[in-house]
Amino acid sequence: MESSAIASALEEAYPTPSLQLAHPIREQVQKLVYKVLRPLVPELLPLYPKHVLGEGSIEYWVRTRTADFGDLDTLHREKGGEQLWEEAKVGLDEVAALLRQEEGGGPFFLGKKPCYADFIWVGFVQFVRRASEEAFERVVVYEEIKKQYDGCQKWMERDD
């Protein structure tokens, strides 16, 4: 089940507090995830099979990503580098600005209470962290993003 379907089911089963699924911030944040991810693909995708995936998932993941992007090590070698972080910085600056503009005292996009947009963004930040701790540190160098990430920790704990 994709995450938006899960969010809809949760909102229906547990309407309070609301995840604010219809709030315009949701679409804005989804676009910002892609704005940051797009330039970082050559940096992050080659790391995922090495640092995240279990043995049973690697072949499928590499095969499908290779079909889309070519050989992942070649992608990293030929298109990776510092310039990608400069491109990603534009989107990261926008995310930090969105978090700063909330006058309710944050740390979330809509103030003190998280919404689905926060989980979309923090899910992406966790994706980055799983790929590379160094990349994660480059994302959470923004104080606002770090506070939001820390504020979502209880929802990232595993209980299985």
What is the separation, in whole angstroms, between the first and last Cα of the chain? 19
Write the secondary structure of 31-76 as one string of H (helix), E (strand) and C (coil): HHHHHHHHHHHHHHHHHHHHHCCCHHHHHHHHHHHHHHHCCHHHHH
Q: In what helix (H) or strand (E) does residue 121 lie, and over which residues does it extend?
A: helix 116-131
**CATH T-level assignment (fold) for domain 22-40+81-155:** Glutathione S-transferase Yfyf (Class Pi); Chain A, domain 2 (1.20.1050)
pTM to 2 decimals?
0.88
pLDDT in tens, 100-158: 986 567 799 999 889 899 999 999 999 999 999 999 999 999 999 999 999 999 988 87
pLDDT in tens, 11-60: 677 767 767 777 899 999 999 999 999 999 999 999 989 888 899 999 99
